[in-house]
Amino acid sequence: MSPARHFREREVPLFAAFSHTKMTIRLILLACMFATLLSKAQTNSNENALRLKHFWQEKAPLTIQDYDPVSYYSGKALKGSTKFRTVYKGIGNHFTNAKNLETFQKNPAGYEPTYGGWCAYAMGARSEKVEPDPENYKLANGYAQSDSTASTPLRWNQLAELTVSGNGNQFTGTASWLHLYGVGKARKFRIGYGVRFNSYFSKDQEFTTAPAKLTSKQEGPQVLFSETFQENLDTLKAGSVNVNSLNAAIYLQYDLSPKFQIGFNIDAIGFSFGKKSSGTIQSSGYGNFAPSAKPYPFNLLLVSENDLGSLNSELYGRYFFSPKWAVKAGASFLFSELQTERKDILDNDRYRNKSLTVMVGIAYKL
């Protein structure tokens, strides 16, 4: 055998071994790369799952319901469209237009809400997860923060309400605006003020002597605990009555949860107006006569029979079934007062009806 042939016979297995080694190295490198990618994907999956767990979501994994996160920086929260959608780390985002979508994609982390979209005030004040109101927000340190209806500092808690109440032949409709302020660290107890318009209707309703100097034979806070002197009570039976009153009101409220509150309110001062009513008075010492009567013009909260005019009060529960809308129910206690054109034998021209009625209504967060 020639030396050249011997060399060629040994060269083939050496080259084959070298090629096999390179293939093995390549497979090892590919396996490492695959393992790295798999590990990274697993890590991302775990991070996304954790984000989904801590993000506030109503129906779907969306950042702030379906509001456009970029719109917050233009001065108004706007709802996005499914036409312009992207997903960032497992959380979907909707946008009002393609420009906002492009803006978000350049810096997605910069447009995510703080605290996973939960109410920023509740998270910061007491580390509590409270459902946010996407339209109730502020910008802080360059980030958008959503807040809730019930848990924010109450400079934002203004409501408009409409209620109706009735009992037999009496009916009252009210429209009111109120502004509440939180007390204490948790801000669950709230006090506030408001303006309320009441419109009371009745037919063939009895009104009795109003002044405390007659009903209790004294005036002052002590009349709350004094007896009623029946011999001083005359009765005005009025035909068709309508008393309208516009009063400033006082509100006390306690938040049992972010969505459910209980409270009490009462009118404090205001004025009344309405049409004249015909009626008859049955007076123990004067006989019967038929004067006309109209709403007593001035309303003032004092104590019990010392009160003047027409005043409404409510004991209520309110439930927010959405960030903006709530239902309200409870009891209404209304003083309605008429003043006759003639005085009776006891020199009285003021007559009052007290009605306790069932009340229902709706509220809207402004």
pLDDT digits (tens, 9 = 90+) for 314-342: 999 999 998 789 999 999 999 999 999 88
Model confidence band, residue 162 (pLDDT cutoffs 50, 70, 90): very high
pLDDT at position 119 is 74
Dig out the tokens for 272 from the structure: 């009344």
Longest CA–CA separation in the chain, Å: 155
pLDDT score, position 242: 96
Mean pLDDT for the stretch of residues 255-266: 91
> pLDDT at position 150, please?
44
Indicate if the pLDDT at residue 229 is higher than 80.
Answer: yes
At residue 287, the pLDDT reads: 56
The lowest-confidence range among 2-6, 178-182, 241-245 is 2-6
To the nearest 10°, report the CA torsion of 294, 300, 301, 305: -50
Query: Interior CA angle at 312 toward 172 and 341, to 5°?
Result: 80
What are the residues facing 202 on neighbouring strands?
170, 241
Read off the tokens for 327.
């239902």
Residues pairing with 338 in the sheet = 295, 351
- Per-residue b or e along 161-186, where b marks 16 or more CB atoms closer than 10 Å to that residue's CB: bebebbeeebbbbbebebbbebeeee
For 129-161, write each residue's pLDDT tens digit: 777 777 776 666 555 555 554 444 434 478 999
Q: Which two structure tokens, joined as six digits, stand for 300?
A: 């003032």
pLDDT value at 10 more than 80? no
3-class SS at 131?
Answer: coil
Helices (H), 141-289: 212-215
Task: Average the pLDDT over each of 10-24, 74-88, 92-106, 281-295 and give the range with the smallest value.
Answer: 10-24
